[in-house]
Structure 1
Amino acid sequence: MRSATVMLGAVLAALLVSSASAAVRITGDAGGQIGPYLENLVALRESGQRVIIDGPCLSACTLVLGVIPRNRICVTRRARLGFHAAWHHGQNGRPATNRGGTRLLMAVYPRNVKKWISRRGGLTRQMKYLTGRELASMYPSCN
């Protein structure tokens, strides 16, 4: 337990560096549990740092779009955002859609992302990818 607390402290300390420091670069993030991602992203937002999405940002990683102000996010041509419904282990350990988690995801996403998801049938088990021109029309390119 103590080592986990120390590790979490080190991660948060790295995120809470002064706003004048280098931007955070996402080059390959497969996501994870919504709660911990929201906590880390709130700390990142408070740090004032910019976020460069420069590769896959999947699942809970996409919450960055709703937590970090749009003017502090930029995307490269390698950026690839993947969205799907939240899930949990259901009966017999099988994945089951988590409706509450999915509602939370949709509540956090900005309006333009919500519209994009809705036009594609909403969040489902199937990953939906936002890339290229569509992504570039929503977020500025990194210079």
Structure 2
Amino acid sequence: MSMADTLAIVIALAANGGTRNQGVDLPPAAAEVTIENQNGGNVSLHASRVIDYGDSGSHIRVMGSCISACTLVLALPRDRICVGPNASFGFHQPFYSNARTVATTDLGTAMEDTYPPFVRQWLKVNFGGLPSGRPQFMRYDILKRYYPTCG
């Protein structure tokens, strides 16, 4: 299944009872996109933005934290992502922001399916999958094994 197809499933699941929190805080598609201190937001909007990044050929520079729905950028090919020393990805089950209750398990599973195998394995070994509650962070010390350091 293509990245766009997998993200389309995420969009559909989020629209049918997924997260309803704030909008997207990812920058628009460009040749180079820098992500720094992005806290996530609406899963559907983030998935749509990542599809835009894929279609436009954007290269992503992760220079700080990328939490929650922002982690969907990991669906992009690894050769289009670089990480800086302060890079981290914060993972948790999607939730309804108004009640802080976990959204459908299907949405969490669909989000996990967008991640590269090493991320899914890390989540499984350390947390049994996407953790509930507070985000758990994969930091630069792990990320630099899989992504080049941004120049």
The answer, yes or no, to whether TM exceeds 0.5 is: yes
* 1:96 match: 101
Q: Is the 8 A contact 1:76 1:142 kept in 2?
A: yes
- TM-superposed CA distance for 1:74, in Å, is 0.3
Moved more, 128-137 or 48-57: 128-137
1:65 to 43, 49, 74: 74
Deviations 1:45-93 (A, max 9, x none): 1111200000110000011011x1110000000111100011125xxx5
Q: Which has the higher contact order (CA 8 A, sep 6+)?
A: 2
1:48 has 2:61 as partner: no
2:40 paired with 1:34 = no
2:112 counterpart (106, 121, 139) = 106
Q: Is the 8 A contact 1:87 1:101 kept in 2?
A: no
Question: Which structure 1 residue ranges, 5 or more long, are not aligned?
Answer: 1-10
Q: TM-score, normalised by structure 2?
A: 0.75
Residue of 62, 70, 86 corresponding to 1:78: 86
Kept in 2: contact 1:82–1:130 (CA 8 A): yes
Same amino acid, percent of matched pairs: 28
RMSD: 1.8
Secondary structure of 1:130's aligned partner: strand
Structure with greater Cα Rg: 1
Q: Segments of 4+ in structure 1 off by > 3 A?
A: none
Greater helix content: 1
Gaps of 5+ in 2: 1-25
SS of equivalent to 1:138:
coil
